[in-house]
Chain A
Amino acid sequence: MYHKTLSYRIFSIFNNIFLSVVAVVCLLPLFHLLMVSLSSASAANGGLVTFWPVGFTLEAYSITFENENFISSLWVSLQRTVLGTTFAMLITSLAAYALSKETRDFRARKVYMWYFVITMLFSGGMIPNYILILKLGLMDTLLALILPVTVSVYNLILLLNFFRTVPRELEEAAFMDGAGHFRTFISIYLPVSMPALATISLFTMVMHWNAYFDGLIYIKETARLPLASFLQTIIVQADMTRFDPTVVQKLSQRTIRASQIFIGSLPILIAYPFLQRYFVKGIVIGAVKE
């Protein structure tokens, strides 16, 4: 047995240490930022904070949550994530069910498949999309953030591949009992596909929560900016022109920047460990299939 040899044991110890160090280093920057956000402003500005809070205080968080712009953006992001994901799952799973049928049962399947796949290969690009939203009068609305990203062809394919693994006997039994396609979809396919639906819902939620660019170009009214776009504007672009001058002074402080970044990524950090296994499954469905 190779595990028992001395050289393998030595390798194993070094290997474990090396990989653990790499893993910790990957999260160190985020951890550092969390510590900055929990430190006093003077310690943070003086560069005294490394991996432990200096002059521990929650002041940065209380200032962040007193900021009306931050709260309204948080609300917009919650809305778009919940509504956008629900809507996307509804439309995508319906279509995936129909397209998971054999060509023999649903002749138009091939045509529909190409209709969707072409949009994966080719798109009009940023400017025509912008003009379209403008002409539809969707500027400054939540719909501009939800409708264009509702149908992800990639998710559609993941889901229909999953539906195809549902044993045909289940479906045939339902048909035998007189159920139609809608009934079969709701009573058979949805319940047995919960893991796949959870995976794809999560992909969609993360996508919505993280999306910033659409908010940046489609939303002009500051109060309607989603959180990711809000953070992009004040932290990355450091563009304060959109905000009230009295709060600008506070917003640019290092500890407050850190607290905002941290709150912005908190939902993902919370959801992540519980649902990681679903993501792994999702990748496996998509990447290494027969």
Chain B
Amino acid sequence: MKATALQNTPPGLTQSKGKKKSKRQPWSLHLMVLPAVVLVFVFAYIPMTGISMAFQDYSARLGFLGSPWVGLKHFRSMFENEYFIQITWNTLLFACSKMALNLIIPFLFALLLNEVRHMGLKRGIQTLVYLPHFLSWVTLSGILIDVLAQTGLLNQFLSNVFGIKPIFFLGDGFWFRMTIIFSDVWKEFGFNTIVILAALSGINPSLYEAAEVDGATRLKQTLHITIPALIPIMIVIATLALGNVLNANFDQVFNLYSPLIYQQGDIIDTFVYREGLLSGQFSFATAVGLFKSGISLVLIIISYRLAYKFAGYRIF
């Protein structure tokens, strides 16, 4: 009764505004979240219980409840597996090299792009370098397989201009690693460039005007105004990337690798896929996946803390 009375009060006379609003149909807000809650429950929370498989010898016939518990057996066999050590190293190598290059290259590129005074040209360049980000790894690897083939465009170019013998880019361990790292830069550097450019456009122009009055050259302005202003966003990008140390990009490797270069090119995620879905080692594959996501979880939490501490970044 009290609530209705309040609602009927003319606006000017409302006293406790906050209290009044909190009484307004909260059930309709719950109803609005409900579909998302249900979907997330079914497709995110239920699979989480499947993690128990990592501690079982799961068989489809016996199910989650009937399969025998084996403790840490799968984790032990994982660490005893030399191949697992190798793919962990591959994963770290790919992820860290990409992270470093995807920080440095967009930074330099954005600084140079910021000097382009012709707006049309600037926009055009941005448009072109950003495009590969939206193409899928299926498309890009289709392109790479063609361009990097023995008789492909790149090998033709190398042999015509430099007289180099054809390189087996996707079949040689060393060149495969290079391909993975640099094709990722190709796809992604435009994205970070735009993020950094957005931060650049937020720098107060009066800083530059003041520097100009004091006779600072453009190089000096860049070193003393632009770069310091970019440090917070660089810290955010770098720390948020930390959570991805074990993410070497499944889609990319999966679409480019072949049994020929498993030793240098296989990563944890592709290994989980092959062991689990192709060989049917559900429990072992889940254990490997769990190991990876456990470490990633810790890293993500640390990285968000750091990003908040150093740059005041909050995701919500």
Residues of A within 8 A of B (CB): 1-3, 5, 8, 11-12, 15-16, 18-20, 22-24, 26-27, 29-30, 32-33, 36, 47, 50, 91-92, 94-95, 97-99, 101, 104-108, 112-113, 115-117, 119, 121-132, 147-148, 150-151, 153, 156-157, 160-161, 175-176, 180-182, 185, 206, 209-213, 217, 228, 231-232, 235-236, 254, 257-258, 260-261, 264-265, 268-269, 272-273, 276, 279-280, 283-284, 287-288
Which residues on B sit within 8 Å (CB–CB) of A288?
Answer: 195, 198-199, 202, 233
The answer for the CA separation of A130 and B277 in the assembled complex, in Å, is 9
B113 at the A/B interface (Cβ < 8 Å)? Answer: yes
The answer for the CA separation of A18 and B115 in the assembled complex, in Å, is 12
The answer for the CA separation of A228 and B121 in the assembled complex, in Å, is 33
Which residues on A sit within 8 Å (CB–CB) of B217?
Answer: 2, 5
B96 at the A/B interface (Cβ < 8 Å)? Answer: no
Which residues on A sit within 8 Å (CB–CB) of B212?
Answer: 1-2
With A26-B128, A122-B48, A283-B195 known as contacts, the answer to whether A213 contacts B153 (CB < 8 A) is: no
Which residues on A sit within 8 Å (CB–CB) of B315?
Answer: 117, 157
Contact of B139 among A12, A92, A105, A261 (CB under 8 A): A261
CB pair B143–A30 under 8 Å, yes or no, is yes
With A113-B316, A175-B24, A217-B277 known as contacts, the answer to whether A257 contacts B131 (CB < 8 A) is: no
Most central of B28, B131, B199, B290 by chain A CB within 10 Å: B131
B227 at the A/B interface (Cβ < 8 Å)? Answer: no
Contact of A236 among B42, B115, B142 (CB under 8 A): B142
26 intermolecular pairs with C-beta atoms under 8 Å apart: A3-B117, A5-B217, A23-B128, A26-B129, A26-B186, A32-B153, A50-B156, A94-B32, A95-B33, A99-B33, A105-B21, A106-B29, A113-B316, A117-B316, A124-B44, A124-B47, A124-B48, A127-B50, A132-B50, A151-B43, A175-B21, A181-B32, A182-B28, A265-B136, A272-B131, A284-B195
The answer for the CA separation of A220 and B129 in the assembled complex, in Å, is 37
The answer for the CA separation of A106 and B190 in the assembled complex, in Å, is 40
Contact of A19 among B36, B116, B191 (CB under 8 A): B116
10 tightest Cβ-Cβ pairs between the two chains A and B: A128-B50, A124-B47, A210-B136, A128-B47, A95-B36, A23-B128, A125-B289, A119-B44, A98-B32, A98-B29
The answer for the CA separation of A174 and B82 in the assembled complex, in Å, is 65
B99 at the A/B interface (Cβ < 8 Å)? Answer: no
Which residues on B sit within 8 Å (CB–CB) of A182?
Answer: 28, 32
Stretch at the interface among B69-77, B84-92, B172-180, B293-301: B293-301
CB pair B136–A157 under 8 Å, yes or no, is no
CB pair B277–A106 under 8 Å, yes or no, is no
Shortest CB distance B177–A (Å): 19
CB pair B142–A126 under 8 Å, yes or no, is no
The answer for the CA separation of A32 and B233 in the assembled complex, in Å, is 36
The answer for the CA separation of A276 and B129 in the assembled complex, in Å, is 12
CB pair B290–A185 under 8 Å, yes or no, is no
CB pair A124–B50 under 8 Å, yes or no, is yes
CB pair A264–B139 under 8 Å, yes or no, is yes
CB pair B24–A123 under 8 Å, yes or no, is no
With A121-B301, A125-B293, A210-B138 known as contacts, the answer to whether A97 contacts B146 (CB < 8 A) is: no
B15 at the A/B interface (Cβ < 8 Å)? Answer: no
The answer for the CA separation of A147 and B255 in the assembled complex, in Å, is 25
Q: On chain B, which size bracket covers the interface?
A: 35 or more
The answer for the CA separation of A27 and B146 in the assembled complex, in Å, is 14
Closest to B312 in A: A290
The answer for the CA separation of A47 and B145 in the assembled complex, in Å, is 14
CB pair B146–A258 under 8 Å, yes or no, is yes
CB pair A148–B36 under 8 Å, yes or no, is no
Which residues on A sit within 8 Å (CB–CB) of B44?
Answer: 119, 123-124
Question: With contacts A36-B146, A125-B289 known, what are 18 further pairs, Cβ within 8 A?
Answer: A12-B116, A19-B112, A19-B113, A20-B125, A94-B35, A104-B21, A108-B30, A112-B33, A156-B36, A160-B316, A210-B139, A235-B142, A261-B139, A268-B135, A273-B127, A280-B198, A287-B198, A288-B199
With A106-B29, A119-B40, A151-B36 known as contacts, the answer to whether A276 contacts B198 (CB < 8 A) is: no
Contact of A115 among B40, B118, B255 (CB under 8 A): B40
The answer for the CA separation of A178 and B28 in the assembled complex, in Å, is 14
Contact of A29 among B49, B112, B153 (CB under 8 A): B153
The answer for the CA separation of A116 and B36 in the assembled complex, in Å, is 9
B273 at the A/B interface (Cβ < 8 Å)? Answer: yes
Which residues on A sit within 8 Å (CB–CB) of B250?
Answer: 213
Which residues on B sit within 8 Å (CB–CB) of A258?
Answer: 146
B285-316 residues with Cβ-Cβ distance < 8 A to A are 285-286, 289-290, 293, 297, 300-301, 315-316
CB pair B30–A104 under 8 Å, yes or no, is no
Which residues on B sit within 8 Å (CB–CB) of A121?
Answer: 297, 300-301
Shortest CB distance A157–B (Å): 5
B132-183 residues with Cβ-Cβ distance < 8 A to A are 132, 134-136, 138-139, 141-147, 151-153, 156
CB pair B40–A257 under 8 Å, yes or no, is no
CB pair B255–A127 under 8 Å, yes or no, is no
B228 at the A/B interface (Cβ < 8 Å)? Answer: no
CB pair B51–A124 under 8 Å, yes or no, is yes
CB pair B125–A106 under 8 Å, yes or no, is no
Which residues on B sit within 8 Å (CB–CB) of A11?
Answer: 115
